[in-house]
Structure 1
């Protein structure tokens, strides 16, 4: 299908950020004297907003969750965690091809703006997006549905054609955010999702080349 606007998740879709995120979680738990979960469990932390991870998934009391959040951010933003990542091969080329085809691009990520800027500037990709749809640094906007709302509102202000919009992501949170807005969602299989999450998507992309076909590029 040919889409007029594409919303792009970041972690697990464009960037393999798992090494730096795991590093930052391990640092957080170790610093605060908390048990370090196994890597398989930490994979479930990839995708949800950090307040959800510390508060709902791990069940920490608000004070401890807030402390974890502060330690994590310090490590991730200023301790090298954000830079410990790499681009998934071929995906940035698709973002660029989508732009060159005259379609709108926006990020739609639950990662905070500061982290997105660190990664985006490192790889020189920020100018590929018409809107940086991110979580706010203060986490007042962090749920995927709220990030998508922000991205769509900003795109509308720019006069983007939103008649056929799709969200490209890798986790169930991307599906849920897209469903809130009645837009299609394609999950990529090179990210951090699993079979049950993939089953909820409108389509699955096996490879970047397959994603190009799904996007009509």
Structure 2
């Protein structure tokens, strides 16, 4: 694992943030005297950001609103979410132990999330796991964000790693698309917030829990390195 760079999405991949994100969504919608939206009906929208969660919540109540009103609700969402960001959010079972072990073996760990950088940093800090990561790349860290490949490759560079020896771990089609575009092998998590079954997104490997992460990473790094070596050895015509 020495010198490998492992890049993790945050919401739905590393941390189960759904309880606090849903609470923030319902806080914003309550300003319109709307009833709370059940968490299970909003989970699939989490990967697309807070605004999408608000829109989805409104859709479930039969409402559509102009952009200016959505902006106002988004501000309410953020005002509530930031101070309550880790009230119920927790790392997925086994995640911290596995990441500590991988880091101890020499892997560089990084975050590549479409969450705003300040929020991502605050969440990791309040969960006391920020020290695990060599780099945190948020939605606003670069001019582009996932699924653009430069968000992922930028996170690898920030961590001091090499894209040719990196693996992405994510839970949605956005993560898979970013990794594919960056030519980085990708592991899909079935326990996250995907709006489609993970097997239909065709990642290079699928895990159902963090106990399966290490062998999946080792296999992908070995296969990817072997493929790269074979391509380099192939005669040019």
**TM-score tier after normalising by the smaller chain length:** 0.7 to 0.9
After TM superposition, give the deviation of residue 136 of structure 1 in Å.
2.3
Is the 1:111–1:135 Cα contact (8 Å) retained in structure 2?
yes
Distance 1:99 1:202 in 2: 22
Q: Does the alignment pair 1:94 with 2:93?
A: no
What does residue 136 of structure 2 align with?
A: 132
Distance 1:83 1:111 in 2: 17
Distance 2:169 2:144 in 1: 17
Is the 2:121–2:136 Cα contact (8 Å) retained in structure 1?
no
- After superposition, the Cα gap between the structure-2 partners of 1:94 and 1:141, relative to the gap in structure 1 and judged at 3 Å, is farther
Give the alignment's TM-score, normalised by structure 1. 0.83
What does residue 76 of structure 2 align with?
A: 71
After TM superposition, give the deviation of residue 63 of structure 1 in Å.
0.9
Distance 1:66 1:107 in 2: 27
Deviations 1:111-147 (A, max 9, x none): 112221222112211121111011229xx8674224x
- After superposition, the Cα gap between the structure-2 partners of 1:157 and 1:188, relative to the gap in structure 1 and judged at 3 Å, is closer
| Unpaired segments ≥5 residues, structure 2 | 220-237
Distance 1:215 1:2 in 2: 12
Give the alignment's TM-score, normalised by structure 2. 0.77
What does residue 21 of structure 2 align with?
A: 21
Is the 2:109–2:159 Cα contact (8 Å) retained in structure 1?
no
What does residue 231 of structure 2 align with?
A: none
- Which shows bigger deviation, 68-77 or 51-60? 51-60
Is the 1:14–1:88 Cα contact (8 Å) retained in structure 2?
yes
Of structures 1 and 2, the larger Rg is shown by 2
Residues matched between the structures, number: 213
- Tell me the secondary structure at the aligned position of residue 79 of structure 2: helix
- Root mean square deviation, CA, Å: 2.9
Structure 2 counterpart of 1:209, from 197, 208, 211 = 211
Higher helix share goes to which structure? 2
After TM superposition, give the deviation of residue 77 of structure 1 in Å.
0.4
Distance 2:179 2:152 in 1: 12
Is the 1:116–1:134 Cα contact (8 Å) retained in structure 2?
yes
After TM superposition, give the deviation of residue 150 of structure 1 in Å.
3.6
What does residue 176 of structure 1 align with?
A: 177
Higher strand share goes to which structure? 1
| Unpaired segments ≥5 residues, structure 1 | none
What does residue 111 of structure 2 align with?
A: 107
What does residue 160 of structure 1 align with?
A: 161
What does residue 62 of structure 1 align with?
A: 67
- After superposition, the Cα gap between the structure-2 partners of 1:175 and 1:151, relative to the gap in structure 1 and judged at 3 Å, is closer
